[in-house]
């Protein structure tokens, strides 16, 4: 594996399986009374969050702390960043503080790539703009694997705003690496024009795809899209692409429903679907911590073999 | 990180010299099984915890011998110590081994840690730390197929298959049927590396 | 200045437009004679060098007034001279905007004072580049700067009525509207060419149609009102097709392409030696695909695209050392333009040196109505001459550039050729590759 985790495309199949296998072992530790491991004692992990995301930050924080790393939370709000400090200056500050890893969430696609050029530590992408969110894809794959076994040949349907979704990008890449068959379902306005070059199938018809799906992953619809003519109304979106009880009835018995959160209940997913036994939404949160522990351990647990990166 | 199993890739050339063959290993394990039974009043409350990878196979073999001698099924588990090692920073991150405790856990049990080679003692130190996070055994003992000396910590084995005087430049390699297709303990010279 | 022009200078053995070696005698700022075995009071050895008419740039951002941290007229014209240019058109998007006679005259005078090359100001089409009211185009045309090219470059004159009026109005003084073709609604928040790479990188796409739709509209408008349209920095294969069609109708449409759009492609944003998402490749219009590059080269070769214009756009380091979305758009290009054209057009056999002279000197001077530039290297022409050595090749070293800014996309590449000397009306502005 490389020194950084910025894109799901950075992961070979072996890398991805190693992370998932490691997470499997670490999941057992989460079940015992002493959850802490001494592995990253003396290492510093900085959570550098330019966007509010309490869920993701807490997940990374819990992961780092369970590995005994020192955690510094650097939120852009109320810091020098909001006073106009550049990403580069922030990076140099972190460098001076001796960060072994920087977990970055940023509104601009590619910000983690830029950061990786300015710091010596490992950079973990916790979501950049509309680009990628690789640890979300890893925790999703981990969740699927726990419910369904190996992912080779499994049919995963991802529904919603693919155009703006970093979760979708990372999932398509990782699931393709792991041998799953991905189908994207969305109104054409919410798909990149180049989606034909992605390693997945595309459909505009959710009802046609559901019966063949082992996994249905619903993406959050951002409120601001509704005002930008990507689709006529919330109601129409929900009618064509929302997952309600009638649609779930078309899925086969073992198929699962996923959502990266936070959900718009009643919009892309009906409340009763989100709370059904098929739903893995709560597991996904728990699995986030163990998956991120695995990533931090594998990036930081060994010798820093600098120069192996991008 | 990639291949953490670099130790399995030991293509070290040089005069290999088997210090224990299959039957020797078997005899040593039988002896250790008897010793464990003697020291634990017939294996009462004993839990055998093997340290991956080969320690686990050895622990299973010991349990099988004990079952044959005493008709008692001694619980066997595995205890991965990777996350507790003190030399993590010297090598790429390695994949984790399994930690599987018997259903009743280790609290108030006599835990016998089983490893293939006892050397610096650092693995055992890590195992003791790992064990401490899993429960509170009544006592912890240590069984090793080979003790090659050169301890760096105040640790000694309670049960030893063979004491093998070595120089630090030598490498002791344990092969087990379950893992390697044959049983042998081999002493390799580092010279040609 | 005057002392240098009072002596006669002979350039010995230069290959005019890549032809047979000849001598060029300069006397009093004009070419006195061209032929074998000429002699003058001073001699410049030019054996093996190619002589071109002094290059003319139709599209330069000199940043002064307002952004003197990025470039000044002084530094930008030094860069121009070193790049072989004897005249540059200074774009209007300064601060204040060059939308009055006062500002264009100020820029023009700064150019005169610097003396490295002629600075011909471009006037804004609309007040403050606001796209709402025409600027005083006539006043700028009548000013000392004699503005003939009008452009809101950096922004598109997107209002169809306003564009029509501008095209009509400039007919009164033989002006031309140079359009930055970018449909604003289709490019809101746009970051790079919309295609496979933007889809993977999650960067908001900048569709080719946003450029092509405006070019098509403007060609039709120019034809309708019988005026001159110039299309800035054409970047797509589709734009080429539209311009080719407009020209086939006999409409008065000209177009330019930048050196970087002749060489670089959008996949550099994803994969380059300087790392992914490096804003050194962020430019407006964006880098396009290989197919677009091929179409642009072919169009430049067959004359569909009339000129190469640098769109030299200096930015200070801090405006590029950022995340992609926050970075400024633009690349410097004056000092690499000829080298890139050699690499993309000459070495590929698409253009000979006479073609280069047409695309980089004659045509831009014609479009800009610069009577003292873009003249053939023959007796009687102003002695604006560029001597170029196409035989060398070197690594691009931005630290050596005269421009105040370093935002070149070619760092780390090797490029061919070297401007050895530049003469502005007989006076050397560059000699032996250095400012004279």
* Rounded CA separation C357/C200 (Å): 40
Chain B residues closer than 8 Å to A302 by CB: 1, 4, 88-89, 91-94
Q: Are strands C118-121 and C434-435 parallel, antiparallel or unpaired?
A: unpaired
* Rounded CA separation C378/C397 (Å): 35
Is residue A79 very low, low, confident or very high in pLDDT (cuts 50, 70, 90)?
low
Average model confidence (pLDDT) across chain A: 92
A308 touches chain B (CB under 8 A): no
Which of residues A203 and A96 earns the better pLDDT score?
A: A203
In this complex, how many residue pairs, one in chain A and one in chain C, have their CB atoms less than 8 Å apart?
Answer: 79
For residue C236, pLDDT beyond 70:
yes
Active site (annotated) includes residue A155: no
Average pLDDT over residues C392-406: 96
Q: Are strands C21-27 and C30-35 parallel, antiparallel or unpaired?
A: antiparallel
pLDDT of residue B10: 45
For a pLDDT cut of 90, what percent of chain B falls above it? 79
pLDDT of residue A306: 39
pLDDT of residue A77: 65
Each residue of A111-140: pLDDT tens digit?
999 999 999 999 999 999 999 999 999 999
Distance, in angstroms, between B150 CA and closest chain A CA?
25
Give the pTM.
0.91
Each residue of B104-155: pLDDT tens digit?
999 999 999 999 999 999 999 999 999 999 999 999 999 999 999 999 999 9
Q: How many residues does chain B have?
A: 193
Average model confidence (pLDDT) across chain C: 97
Nearest CB to A86 within list C199, C200, C318: C318
pLDDT of residue A259: 96
Count of helices and strands (H, E) across chain B = 4, 8
Interface test with A, best of B96, B97, B106, B136 (most A CBs within 10 A): B96
pLDDT of residue C2: 43
Chains that touch B (3 or more CB pairs under 8 A): A
Nearest CB to A297 within list B80, B93, B129: B93
Nearest CB to A302 within list B1, B98, B134: B1
For residue B13, pLDDT beyond 80:
no
Active site (annotated) includes residue A259: no
At the second CATH level, the architecture of A8-131+285-300 is 3-Layer(aba) Sandwich (3.40)
CB-side exposure of C95: number of CA atoms within 13 Å? 6
Chain B residues closer than 8 Å to A296 by CB: none
Chain A residues closer than 8 Å to B4 by CB: 302
CB-side exposure of B189: number of CA atoms within 13 Å? 6
* Cβ atoms < 10 Å from Cβ of C237: 19
Q: Which of A43, A66, A105, A169 is catalytic?
A: A105
For residue B7, pLDDT beyond 50:
no
pLDDT of residue A31: 84
B77 touches chain A (CB under 8 A): no
Check A87 against C323: CB less than 8 A apart: yes
pLDDT of residue B9: 40
Cα separations in angstroms, C35 against A303, C7, C22: 72, 19, 5
Distance of CA A121 to the CA centre of its chain: 21
Distance, in angstroms, between A164 CA and closest chain C CA?
7
* Rounded CA separation A156/C417 (Å): 55
* Rounded CA separation C201/C276 (Å): 9
Each residue of A67-76: pLDDT tens digit?
999 999 988 7
Average pLDDT over residues C374-395: 97
Check A192 against C324: CB less than 8 A apart: no
E strand or H helix at A293: helix A281-300
Q: Which residue stretches of C58-177 are H helix? A: 73-82, 101-114, 137-142, 160-169
Average pLDDT over residues C36-65: 96
Sign of the Cα torsion A123, A129, A135, A141 reads negative
CA angle C205, C207, C210 (to 5 degrees): 130
Chain A residues closer than 8 Å to C275 by CB: 113-114, 116-117, 310
CATH of A134-280, one of 3.30.9.10, 3.40.50.1370, 3.40.640.10, 3.40.50.12660: 3.40.50.1370
Cα separations in angstroms, B61 against B48, B116, B170, C53: 10, 12, 27, 91
Active site (annotated) includes residue A166: no
For residue B4, pLDDT beyond 70:
no
* Cβ atoms < 10 Å from Cβ of C393: 13
pLDDT of residue C339: 98
CB-side exposure of C227: number of CA atoms within 13 Å? 28
Bridge partner residues of B186 (DSSP)? B18, B173
Each residue of A82-92: pLDDT tens digit?
556 789 998 99
* Rounded CA separation A201/A185 (Å): 9
Average pLDDT over residues B160-181: 94
Burial class (CB in 10 A: 0-12, 13-18, 19+), A152: exposed
Average model confidence (pLDDT) across chain B: 89
pLDDT of residue C210: 98
B139 touches chain A (CB under 8 A): no
Each residue of C352-377: pLDDT tens digit?
999 999 999 999 999 999 999 999 99
* Rounded CA separation A154/A146 (Å): 13
Q: Which strands sit side by side in the sheet containing C307-308, from one edge to the other? A: C149-150, C176-179, C229-231, C253-257, C307-308
Interior/surface letters C74-101, b for 16+ CB within 10 angstroms, e for the rest = bbbbbbbbbbbbbbbbbbbbbeebbbbb
The encoded tokens of residue C160 equal 């169809």
Nearest CB to A192 within list C199, C322, C323: C199
Is residue B11 very low, low, confident or very high in pLDDT (cuts 50, 70, 90)?
very low
Is residue A308 very low, low, confident or very high in pLDDT (cuts 50, 70, 90)?
very low
The encoded tokens of residue B117 equal 């080679």
For residue C7, pLDDT beyond 90:
no
* Rounded CA separation C22/C387 (Å): 13
Chain C residues closer than 8 Å to A107 by CB: 325
pLDDT of residue A82: 57
pLDDT of residue B8: 39
Is residue C6 very low, low, confident or very high in pLDDT (cuts 50, 70, 90)?
low
For residue C124, pLDDT beyond 50:
yes
* Rounded CA separation A272/A279 (Å): 10
Active site (annotated) includes residue A55: yes
Contact B135, B107 (CB under 8 A): yes
The answer to whether the bond into C168 is cis (omega within 30° of 0) is no
pLDDT of residue C159: 98
* Cβ atoms < 10 Å from Cβ of C348: 12
Average pLDDT over residues B28-41: 95
For residue C244, pLDDT beyond 60:
yes
Q: Can you tell me whether residue A224 is helix, strand or coil?
A: helix
Cα separations in angstroms, A176 against A127, A184, A214, C185, C365: 20, 13, 15, 35, 55
Nearest CB to B99 within list A21, A28, A301: A28
Sign of the Cα torsion A68, A70, A76, A78 reads positive
Give the chain A residue whose CA is nearest to the CA of C204.
A130
pLDDT of residue A304: 54
Give the chain C residue whose CA is nearest to the CA of A191.
C199
Contact B72, B100 (CB under 8 A): no
Check B134 against A38: CB less than 8 A apart: no
Average pLDDT over residues C259-265: 98
Average pLDDT over residues C77-84: 98
* DSSP state for residue C382 in the 8-state scheme: B
Give the chain A residue whose CA is nearest to the CA of C270.
A110
For CATH 3.40.50.1370, the residue range(s) in chain A are 8-131+285-300, 134-280
Q: Which residues contact C176 (CB under 8 A, 6 or more apart)?
A: C148, C149, C150, C170, C228, C229, C230, C254, C367, C368, C369
The DSSP string of C14-67 is: EEETTSSEEEEEEETTEEEEEESS---SEEEE-TTPEEEEPEEEEEE---TTT-
A297 touches chain B (CB under 8 A): yes
pLDDT of residue B5: 37
Q: Report, in angstroms and rounded to the nearest whole number, the Rg of chain C calculated over CA atoms.
A: 21
Q: Report, in angstroms and rounded to the nearest whole number, the Rg of chain B calculated over CA atoms.
A: 16
| Closest listed residue to residue C202, CA positions, set A163, B146, B26, A274 | A163
Average pLDDT over residues B35-64: 95
Q: Which residues of C touch A (CB under 8 A)?
A: 191, 194-205, 207, 275-278, 318, 321-326
The encoded tokens of residue C1 equal 């200045």
Average pLDDT over residues C422-435: 97
Chain A residues closer than 8 Å to B94 by CB: 301-302
């Amino acid at each position: 594996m490389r020194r950084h985790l910025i894109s799901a495309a950075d992961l070979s199949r072996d890398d991805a399986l190693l992370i998932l296998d490691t997470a499997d072992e670490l999941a057992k530790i989460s079940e015992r009374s002493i959850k802490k491991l001494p592995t990253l004692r003396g290492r510093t992990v900085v959570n550098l969050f330019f966007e509010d995301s309490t869920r993701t930050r807490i997940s990374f924080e819990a992961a780092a702390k369970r590995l005994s790393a020192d955690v510094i939370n650097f939120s852009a709000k109320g810091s020098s960043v909001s006073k106009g400090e550049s990403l580069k200056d922030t990076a140099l500050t972190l460098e001076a503080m001796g960060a072994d890893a920087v977990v970055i969430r940023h509104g601009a696609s590619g910000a983690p790539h830029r950061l990786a050029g300015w710091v010596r530590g490992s950079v973990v992408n916790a979501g950049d703009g509309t680009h990628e969110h690789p640890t979300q894809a890893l925790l999703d794959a981990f969740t699927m694997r726990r419910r369904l076994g190996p992912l080779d040949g499994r049919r995963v349907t991802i529904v919603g705003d693919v155009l703006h979704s970093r979760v979708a990008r990372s999932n398509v890449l990782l699931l393709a690496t792991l041998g799953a068959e991905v189908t994207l379902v969305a109104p054409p306005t919410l798909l990149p024009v180049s989606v034909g070059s992605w390693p997945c199938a595309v459909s505009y018809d959710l009802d046609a795809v559901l019966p063949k799906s082992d996994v249905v992953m619903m993406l959050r619809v951002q409120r601001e899209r509704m005002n930008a003519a990507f689709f006529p109304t919330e109601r129409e979106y929900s009618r064509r692409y929302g997952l309600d009880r009638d649609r779930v009835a078309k899925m086969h018995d073992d198929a699962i429903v996923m959502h990266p959160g936070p959900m718009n209940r009643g919009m892309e997913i009906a409340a009763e679907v989100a709370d059904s036994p098929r739903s893995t939404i709560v597991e996904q949160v728990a699995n986030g911590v163990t998956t991120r522990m695995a990533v931090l351990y594998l990036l930081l647990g060994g010798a820093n073999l600098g120069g192996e990166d991008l | 990180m990639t291949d953490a199993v670099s130790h399995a890739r030991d293509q070290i050339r040089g005069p290999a010299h088997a210090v224990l063959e299959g039957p020797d290993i078997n005899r040593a394990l039988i002896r250790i099984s008897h010793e464990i039974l003697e020291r634990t009043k017939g294996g009462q409350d004993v839990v055998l915890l093997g340290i991956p990878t080969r320690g686990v196979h050895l622990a299973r073999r010991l349990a099988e011998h004990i079952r044959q001698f005493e008709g008692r099924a001694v619980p066997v588990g595995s205890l991965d110590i990777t996350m507790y090692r003190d030399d993590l920073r010297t090598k790429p991150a390695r994949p984790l081994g399994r930690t599987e405790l018997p259903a009743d856990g280790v609290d108030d049990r006599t835990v016998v840690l089983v490893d293939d080679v006892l050397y610096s003692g650092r693995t055992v130190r890590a195992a003791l730390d790992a064990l401490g996070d899993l429960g509170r055994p009544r006592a912890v003992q240590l069984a090793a197929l080979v003790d090659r000396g050169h301890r760096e910590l105040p640790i000694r084995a309670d049960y030893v298959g063979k004491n093998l005087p070595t120089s630090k430049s030598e490498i002791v390699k344990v092969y087990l049927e379950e893992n390697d297709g044959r049983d042998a303990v081999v002493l390799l010279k580092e010279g040609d590396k | 200045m005057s002392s240098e022009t009072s002596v006669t200078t002979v350039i010995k053995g230069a290959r005019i437009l890549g032809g047979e070696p000849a001598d060029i005698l300069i006397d009093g700022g004009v070419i006195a004679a061209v032929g074998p075995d000429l002699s003058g009071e001073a001699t410049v050895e030019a054996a093996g060098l190619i002589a071109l008419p002094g290059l003319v740039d139709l599209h330069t951002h000199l940043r002064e007034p307002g952004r003197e941290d990025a470039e000044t007229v002084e530094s930008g014209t030094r860069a121009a001279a070193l790049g072989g240019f004897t005249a540059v058109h200074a774009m209007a998007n300064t601060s204040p905007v060059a939308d009055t006679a006062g500002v264009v005259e100020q820029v023009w005078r700064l150019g005169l004072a610097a003396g490295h090359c002629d600075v011909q100001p471009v006037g804004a089409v609309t007040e403050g580049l606001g796209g709402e009211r025409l600027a005083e185009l006539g006043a700028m045309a009548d000013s000392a700067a004699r503005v003939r090219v009008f452009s809101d470059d950096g922004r598109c004159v997107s209002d169809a009525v306003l564009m029509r009026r501008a095209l009509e109005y400039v007919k009164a003084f033989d002006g031309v509207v140079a359009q930055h073709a970018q449909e604003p609604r289709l490019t809101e928040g746009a970051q790079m060419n919309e295609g496979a790479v933007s889809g993977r990188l999650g960067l908001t796409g900048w569709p080719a149609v946003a450029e092509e739709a405006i070019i098509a509209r403007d060609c039709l408008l120019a034809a309708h009102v019988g005026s001159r349209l110039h299309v800035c920095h054409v970047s797509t294969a589709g734009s080429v097709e539209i311009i080719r069609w407009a020209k086939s109708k006999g409409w008065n449409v000209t177009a330019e392409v930048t050196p970087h759009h002749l060489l670089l492609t959008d996949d550099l944003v994803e994969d380059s030696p300087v790392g992914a998402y490096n804003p050194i490749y962020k430019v407006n219009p964006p880098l396009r695909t290989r197919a677009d590059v091929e179409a642009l080269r072919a169009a430049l070769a067959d004359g569909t695209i009339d000129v190469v214009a640098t769109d030299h756009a200096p930015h200070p380091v801090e405006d590029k050392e950022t995340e992609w979305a926050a970075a400024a758009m633009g690349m410097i290009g004056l000092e690499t333009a000829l080298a890139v054209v050699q690499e993309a057009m000459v070495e590929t056999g698409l253009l000979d040196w006479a073609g280069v002279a047409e695309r980089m000197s004659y045509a831009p001077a014609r479009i800009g109505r610069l009577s003292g530039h873009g003249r053939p290297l023959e007796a009687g022409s102003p002695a604006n001459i560029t001597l170029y050595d196409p035989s060398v090749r070197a690594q691009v070293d931005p630290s050596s550039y005269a421009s105040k800014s370093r935002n070149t996309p070619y760092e780390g590449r090797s490029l061919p050729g070297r401007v050895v000397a530049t003469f502005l009306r007989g006076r050397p502005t560059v000699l032996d590759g250095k400012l004279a």
